[in-house]
Amino acid sequence: MKKKTIFLTGGTGNMGWAGFQELYKKNKFDIRLLARPGKKNRKLLEKYENDPSVTIIWGDLTSYEDVLRGVTGADYVLHVGGMVSPAADYYPEKTLKVNVSAAGHIAKAVLAQPDADNIKVVYIGSIAQYGDRSVPEHWGRAGDPVCASRYDMYAVSKCKAEKIIVDSGIKKWVSLRQTGILYPGILKVVNPTAFHVPMAGVLEWATIEDSGRLLANVCEDWVADDFWNKFYNISSGEEYRMTNYEFLHRMLGALGLPSPEKVFEPQWFATRNFHGMWYLDADELEKHLHFRANVPVDKYFADMKKGLPWFYSLAFLAPAFAIKLFMKRYAFEKGMGTQSWVEDDHEKLAAYYGSMEAYRNIRSWEQMRPPYLEKNLDKALETGEAFNLKHGWNVDTPVVELTLDEVRAAAEFRGGKFLGPEENLGQAGAIFDWECENGHRFKASLEYVLCGGGWCQDCGLDFCVRNAGPNNRFFSQLKRK
């Protein structure tokens, strides 16, 4: 039986590498990797250059010809690659160009194949596409409003790239929105964006091992047909729901370092305008792909430390004042550090703190630590702590079965209009005309608008919630400012 051919982008990154290793272990696929020809990548992939089951395409996602080489003859396209944080934070315009153009090249190359309808495309999106979901709006699901946090060009790029794939005409696609990834190297990552994260916020993490398994399992024959043409959230489940304060506490503890209160000033951390949710639909992807190892979170953090070089075990010897002095330079880094905005960028300060007054009123860690939050979904639903945002349509009905009146009502729920053509209703992936509350006309599928939570991109993906009027009941459910 002929092996299936898998084209993987981003194979030298964290998630992509984990996926490549899992695919390779299965010993049943021909794997193509698109990798930039740098010294680091060449060393990483050296052992596979003469492996008959691995083809390395030295190239770049921004080159259509390079992407076409990978797609031609492939059965699956796993599009993991692109610019991510922290590089994405330092080079926002480049991030937008790279991530959007890469998605365009993938779609164009797939549709150029004679067997295009048989190629399955897996797009890796991001939790950043949901933007700021602060308490009490910290529970969410696929189909919730897609709207980036301010200044988050990475999130904007992922929203735009996702729409390209979904509305391209590709017959079998899926968007898997990745959350924060836990891997040993995260304990070594230090940069100013760490202070953009509100301590009272939440995130439902995924381990690097689980993330790799899902990339390999999605290529298996046993994946059901009804898995495709949908949106899913990736996570390692309830065990990995943490407040950001809890995560920071665990991370410092894994290194034997003091608590956050002893090594950081509370004012260094933003209080809003980030991203993160706990999922109402966390288990949907697991039901299809069976990728979770279900490792207890405390054990996982302990194991992460074991994966670090030996000298990290001596971190506990560093006195708290020395650690604080070391971290201070990142908080005050010009442009990216939160404390640099106090003098240089009051607009950014207001976006991340609410106002200069709110920033100056932060005087203690008591103000920053999150309240108790119930992590068990069933209990959170019972107490009312977790609630579903309304989507404006019956989400249990397949979009191809929706009536004209139901689609019109969904558009009106978003403050806009459905313009048709109504004769194309009932066709999977059909593209329709819409009008938003601000009069912008745009084209999008029912899948993108209703299942994905997308809407008008001309309104500004990082402003659409804040600018939503009362007629846009979909976006105005969020109280973001």
Which amino acid is present at 457?
Answer: Q
d(CA 467, CA 481): 9
Pair 288, 411 in one domain: no
Work out the end-to-end distance of the chain between its first and last CA atoms, rounded to an integer number of angstroms: 57
Pair 434, 286 in one domain: no
Q: Which domain holds residue 166?
A: 4-185+202-235+280-292
Pair 93, 223 in one domain: yes
Query: pLDDT at position 226, please?
Result: 96
Query: pLDDT at position 256, please?
Result: 85
d(CA 349, CA 341): 6
Q: Per the domain annotation, does 64 fall within a domain?
A: yes
Q: Per the domain annotation, does 407 fall within a domain?
A: yes
Pair 432, 285 in one domain: no
Residue-wise pLDDT for 159-205, tens only, equals 999 999 999 999 999 999 999 999 988 877 789 999 999 999 999 99
Whether 393 shows a pLDDT value over 70: the answer reads yes
State phi, psi for 204 to the nearest 5 degrees. Answer: -110, 105
Pair 287, 421 in one domain: no
What's the whole-number average pLDDT of the chain? 94
Residue-wise pLDDT for 43-52, tens only, equals 999 999 999 9
Pair 24, 168 in one domain: yes
Whether 481 shows a pLDDT value over 60: the answer reads no
Q: Is 311 helix (H, G, I), strand (E, B) or coil?
A: helix
d(CA 449, CA 214): 26
Residue-wise pLDDT for 20-37, tens only, equals 999 999 999 999 999 999
Q: Per the domain annotation, does 248 fall within a domain?
A: no
Whether 91 shows a pLDDT value over 60: the answer reads yes
d(CA 120, CA 172): 5
Whether 307 shows a pLDDT value over 80: the answer reads no
Q: Long-range contacts made by residues 462-467, C-beta under 8 angstroms, separation at least 24?
A: 462/131, 462/147, 462/148, 462/149, 462/150, 462/151, 462/152, 462/153, 462/155, 462/156, 463/150, 464/145, 464/147, 465/131, 465/145, 465/147, 467/438
Whether 480 shows a pLDDT value over 80: the answer reads no
Q: Per the domain annotation, does 314 fall within a domain?
A: no
- Partners of residue 108 on adjacent β-strands: none
d(CA 122, CA 105): 14
Domain boundary, last residue among 292, 322, 341: 292
Domain containing residue 45: CATH number: 3.40.50.720
- Partners of residue 77 on adjacent β-strands: 7, 121
Q: Is 238 helix (H, G, I), strand (E, B) or coil?
A: helix
Pair 429, 286 in one domain: no
| CA-based nearest residue to 354, from 340, 335, 341 | 341
Domain boundary, last residue among 271, 292, 313: 292
Residue-wise pLDDT for 313-359, tens only, equals 656 667 888 889 999 999 999 999 999 999 999 999 999 999 999 99
Pair 287, 403 in one domain: no
Q: Per the domain annotation, does 444 fall within a domain?
A: yes
Q: Per the domain annotation, does 359 fall within a domain?
A: no
DSSP codes, 319-386: -HHHHHHHHHHHHT-TTTSGGGHHHH-HHHHHHHHSSHHHHHT--SGGGTSPPP----HHHHHHHTSS
Q: Per the domain annotation, does 195 fall within a domain?
A: no
Pair 32, 179 in one domain: yes
How many distinct structural domains can be found in the chain? Answer: 2
Pair 26, 174 in one domain: yes
Q: Per the domain annotation, does 393 fall within a domain?
A: no
What mean pLDDT do residues 123-132 have? 97
Pair 286, 404 in one domain: no
